[in-house]
Structure 1
């Protein structure tokens, strides 16, 4: 007995069949099939030669594939949902629901640490196709989507826009975290005594990568019309979260630059102010003020950076002394302590946390507590040495 690849003649799902048996049952749609025909369908599909294929390319088959894709999506089997949606689109590239499932599945599989192409371009391609091919949705002269028969179609549009904002929120929050992770940079400068200029040059590619993530998130956010954010509380909360995460990103980037004594040029500062305005453009006035209040501390950090000149005539910023704590702790392992801690940098003043989100504060406090644990362990270690 041997199992070989085949393709269900009813739903088109890829299966394996026992070639010693004449027939079988598809595990996906439950339909009986003739083994030889299922094998022939698979071979036809692989070679892209559909001459003589026995698969039933009818509306019912497409709906069945979409149904399988939706079930996989609800079960959080996102890769499976994505694959089924693609199979449906191979039969009918205008299947709106298939495009939507593909959008949702891909959005849930986004990994900001592995960006090979623009998340914005990919997701909006799927989302726009879902809307373009949806019934009772039309594209206006100013490239906006309108519905002819609400409210069901309106809900569908909101689902597409919700997916955009959820993806943008995920990307922006990850970018905010990635830019603030400076332990490796500090280790190179403090422990390995590397030249700060070389550390800065090595870091440029990574900073550019993270910056591209924020641009993906900003562009996705701009795809959502203001009227939907204004009337939908969930969309409003997501949009607000994206704006706050962007402020955290800007704050973290200034801290990152200060590690190797660098600063932002004026045109970048202006661009980031403009980006924040875009992110808050359709938010209510109170939310705009809240986001701007978060941004005040970022601007204060920018103003606290003063420039000096090195021996090559290059501008080198230095940080004015300000209230707060800057603790640089290296990774350490000690058998007596039984404790291992990754390198951490506590770079936030305890008096400067007012107005930040609870997640931001929690992260800052956790960093401080980790640092205090390391200090405690160091004292314990020194004490053991003195008594030994």
Structure 2
């Protein structure tokens, strides 16, 4: 029986992870859960899964829930999340938090020698060098949950000693695939939140629309698989059936395919090295008919180019890129700026950024905080 800690249990990944746990109750049990402010859903989860430890964002919510669930230990805030990840009796930590709040709990869980199922992009985008050094030092497993990185990870099983020629990172293209720069100027929030293939949280859905999501995944792939930027190619694949591919030095290509359902990569990470039977839809090639591929347009979607630039420049550039993007996406969600203001302002911020190198965890957090204060629009 594997004990699971889920950081962010009320979000899209967290709820699907609990579905995997419920369908495989003979394999997994919930040790700890954390949530933000969706207390109604969290209350339902606590009743259903009875974790030993639970965390809310706010102290008052923890106090209220403690009265309702006296057998569960409660905490709150960042320190509570760190306790859930590093201080409980879990075997595996699923980090499905949004944003930079996921970095320190992941780091502390690794130091506590917990295996990590990672669905929080910012952990590696901002803290890749620090995190991967900690993974190596503490000899833990870092299992990717993003569908693309899970696909790459699966393709590499049994091939770790074979040189990778290219990573082919697939992208759906989002809701604005094929748009011109002029057309992109006129898009609405409602359009940007309507992803053609995946159901996700608002922030990651906007990132997918701008292709920043794919840019962040390039940086993640670099750290996860020790592959330089020039060997990571984005391939737009609108059907979202091929989740990513690896080309080896002999030019053979392995691909991982499946229907777009996040329970697939979640269950793979939870069960690794074993596969778990799933009940969702199988790929029907006869219904699909055709799989198509396109080149990503980095002129129209400059976020993708900025991510490549940040990775190649190294140091604090990815930290600044990620922090600025988080702030700008929230401003767009609040209808304070236009969609194209995200990438236009990112360009300016990255040009002005004064880099630091050889970062500590505290350096990363300081640069993240400072970058956010500099965005005044």
So what's the TM-score if we normalise by structure 1?
A: 0.25
Whichever structure has more strand as a proportion of its residues is 2
Higher relative contact order (CA 8 A, sep 6+): 2
So what's the TM-score if we normalise by structure 2?
A: 0.25
Whichever structure has more helix as a proportion of its residues is 1
